[in-house]
């Protein structure tokens, strides 16, 4: 790193001193904190984004959002060249960068890192970072800090893409690096054209059994509701009513949104008894999650929740059906047949009833540690990999080799049996790969795919919700001095430290019909999280409380 570069970094960094007594850590959600604490961190992540662009010779994304957090918070995260999350190998550098105490320490850290990574500041490589932000009032000032960080690397260019959903920015990075149209109207056109294609391929005679086929959407007073209103104008077969757009004075994520609805299991604001019988859906603040719900008769606040586990199950059912059509017996011996590997990825927090249902379908179900980065990485190992968390974050990944085969297969079938069920199945799968975001969970694409599949199957939301009945569950947490005292294995389902704690949990769990329980250390605070399931809510509550006592006995602190 030459003197000019060092001088530029030194001058810029001195204007963004880190907050005293605050230590931040880059996780699945990037950095998040109260917005007032983030100027220095966002500036430094701008530097990181520019270095990542130099290293990968690609366009990188930087998104300013705190998703489902309260409006006073904000955050920042990186989109890698494939549109996915920042490489895990760079997370320790991100932590060190954010927490460097002085400009001199920052420059020394960067110098050591670029030498280790063999990053050259030769000025001949394109360095572009796409910037996006959600609707938070703090977003504009943080965007300026990010821009200064990016441009403090000589030759780096920051491109402001405006107010976006998080999935839109990830999609734009992915498209830009594939030399495809990467503007917002390109995103809307891809989603709407794929949706129309799938609707045109719905079998004759399929018809939803909903008494009211309109969809009512809770926009969480965030960016998603606004973008959905734009997208709806490009759709010709779906009527969407969007509430909680933020235009009526509603506060972002306050009593609204997917996180609130999924955790509290009550209607969001602006919903109530007048919505009985309607198909409803909640987005989160930056529109990378969604959950469906309906208001049961006689209720004004309670809901029947259709969470991410059931969204996954619906998607898996549909994809499996299309793959089965492509691989019918008469097609087995044809030249070019392809046995696609379909896999479903969940965490231990997935309801046990959902996992049982997926296995009954004959699907390969894999568990990973908690965190989208683990789910996404594992799903990418399949020809078609589907992952979802119960909170409504997930997507469907198609391998490039399978997409190439599908395109060739569609062309072949078009010439010999155009309009056949096998050709329609190939077209459906190709359309799904464009409708569903290949980079990250996307509430808008996910919503449109749910709507298509319900129409395809002729199902109401109530029929969908009857796929299986969730086992009652309870989540608690135990305060500890050091969360690293608990070490887990087998996708966090087994505690291997402290010695003996897993045996105690197993002994307690065995007392309950359909009992299941596990503990795991929080990734953000000094607590141990406890999850329990059983055949009744009372039993699940008792099991969860018993396991918290076990954690207390082994670690010596009280329950929170």
CA angle 127, 129, 134 (to 5 degrees): 175
Q: Establish whether 390 is an annotated binding residue.
A: yes
Q: Establish whether 389 is an annotated binding residue.
A: yes
For residues 115-150, b (16+ Cβ closer than 10 Å) or e, as one string? eeeebebeeebebbbbbbbbbbebbeebbbbbbbbb
Give the list of residues 6+ apart from residue 334 with CB closer than 8 angstroms, or none.
none
Of 67, 208, 313, 354, which is the active-site residue? 67
529-to-68, 405, 453, 544 alpha-carbon distances in Å? 20, 44, 35, 10
Asked whether 191 and 171 are in contact (CB, 8 A), the reply is no
Q: Is 358 helix (H, G, I), strand (E, B) or coil?
A: helix
Residue 20: Cβ within 10 Å count: 6
Q: How many Å from the N-terminal Cα to the C-terminal Cα in the chain?
A: 49
Q: Establish whether 284 is an annotated binding residue.
A: yes
Q: Establish whether 526 is an annotated binding residue.
A: no
Q: Establish whether 347 is an annotated binding residue.
A: no
| Alpha-carbon gap, residue 84 to 81, rounded angstroms | 7
Q: Establish whether 383 is an annotated binding residue.
A: no
Q: Establish whether 556 is an annotated binding residue.
A: no
Residue with tokens 């479903």: 344
What are the backbone angles phi and psi of residue 78, rounded to the nearest 5°?
-105, 140
Q: Establish whether 296 is an annotated binding residue.
A: no
Asked whether 365 and 320 are in contact (CB, 8 A), the reply is no
Q: Establish whether 524 is an annotated binding residue.
A: yes
Alpha-carbon torsion 279, 283, 289, 293, what sign? negative
Rg (CA), the chain: 24
Q: Is 2 helix (H, G, I), strand (E, B) or coil?
A: coil
Task: Note if 324 is an active site residue.
Answer: no
Q: Establish whether 439 is an annotated binding residue.
A: no
Q: Establish whether 391 is an annotated binding residue.
A: yes
Numbered residues of the known binding site for substrate:
389-391, 520-524, 529
Catalytic residues: 67
| Annotated binding-site residue numbers for Mg(2+) | 67, 284, 286, 288
Binding site: which residues?
Answer: 67, 284, 286, 288, 389-391, 520-524, 529
């Amino acid at each position: 790193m030459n003197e000019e570069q060092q001088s530029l970094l030194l001058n810029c960094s001195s204007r963004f001193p880190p907050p005293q007594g605050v230590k931040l850590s880059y996780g699945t959600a990037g950095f998040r904190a109260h917005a007032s604490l983030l100027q220095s961190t966002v500036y430094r992540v701008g530097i990181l984004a520019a270095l990542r662009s130099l290293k990968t010779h690609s366009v990188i994304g930087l998104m300013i959002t705190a998703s489902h957090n309260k409006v006073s918070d904000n955050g920042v995260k990186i989109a890698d060249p494939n549109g996915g999350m920042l490489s895990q190998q760079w997370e320790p550098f991100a932590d060190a960068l954010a927490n460097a105490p002085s400009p001199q320490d920052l420059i020394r850290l960067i110098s050591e890192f670029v030498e280790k990574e063999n990053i050259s500041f030769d000025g001949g490589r394109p360095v572009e970072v796409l910037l996006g932000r959600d609707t938070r009032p703090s977003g504009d000032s943080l965007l300026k800090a990010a821009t200064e960080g990016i441009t403090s690397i000589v030759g780096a260019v920051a491109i402001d893409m405006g107010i976006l959903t998080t999935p839109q920015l990830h999609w734009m990075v992915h498209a830009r690096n594939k030399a495809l149209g990467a503007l917002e109207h390109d995103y809307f056109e891809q989603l709407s054209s794929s949706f129309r294609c799938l609707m045109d391929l719905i079998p004759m005679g399929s018809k939803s059994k909903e008494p009211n086929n309109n969809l009512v959407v809770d926009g969480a007073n965030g960016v998603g509701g606004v973008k959905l209103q734009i997208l709806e104008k490009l759709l010709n077969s779906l009527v969407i009513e969007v509430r909680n757009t933020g235009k009526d004075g509603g506060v972002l994520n306050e009593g609204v949104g997917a996180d609130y609805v999924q955790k509290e299991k009550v209607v969001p604001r602006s919903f109530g008894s007048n919505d009985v019988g309607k198909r409803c859906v909640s987005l989160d603040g930056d529109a990378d999650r969604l959950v469906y719900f309906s208001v049961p008769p006689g209720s004004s606040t309670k809901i029947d929740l259709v969470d991410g586990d059931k969204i996954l199950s619906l998607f898996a059912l549909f994809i499996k059906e299309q793959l089965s059509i492509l691989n019918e017996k008469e097609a087995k011996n044809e030249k070019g047949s392809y046995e696609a590997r379909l896999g479903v990825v969940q965490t231990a927090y997935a309801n046990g009833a959902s996992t049982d249902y997926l296995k009954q379908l004959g699907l390969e179900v894999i568990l990973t540690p908690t965190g989208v980065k683990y789910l996404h990485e594992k799903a990418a190992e399949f020809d078609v990999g589907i992952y979802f968390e119960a909170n409504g974050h997930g997507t469907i990944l198609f391998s490039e080799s399978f997409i190439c085969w599908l395109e060739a297969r569609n062309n072949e079938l078009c010439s010999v049996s155009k309009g056949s069920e096998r050709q329609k199945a190939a077209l459906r799968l190709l359309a799904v790969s464009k409708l569903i975001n290949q980079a990250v969970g996307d509430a808008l694409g996910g919503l449109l795919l749910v709507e298509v599949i319900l129409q395809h199957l002729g199902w109401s939301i109530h029929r969908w919700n009857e796929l299986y009945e969730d086992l009652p569950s309870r989540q608690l947490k135990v305060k500890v001095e050091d969360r690293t005292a608990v070490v887990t294995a087998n996708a966090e389902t087994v505690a291997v430290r402290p010695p003996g704690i897993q045996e105690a949990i197993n002994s307690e769990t065995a007392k309950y019909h359909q009992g299941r329980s596990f503990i795991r250390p929080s990734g953000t605070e000094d607590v141990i999280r406890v999850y329990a399931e059983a055949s009744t809510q009372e039993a699940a509550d008792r099991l969860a409380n018993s396991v918290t006592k076990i954690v207390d006995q082994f670690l010596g602190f009280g329950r929170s």
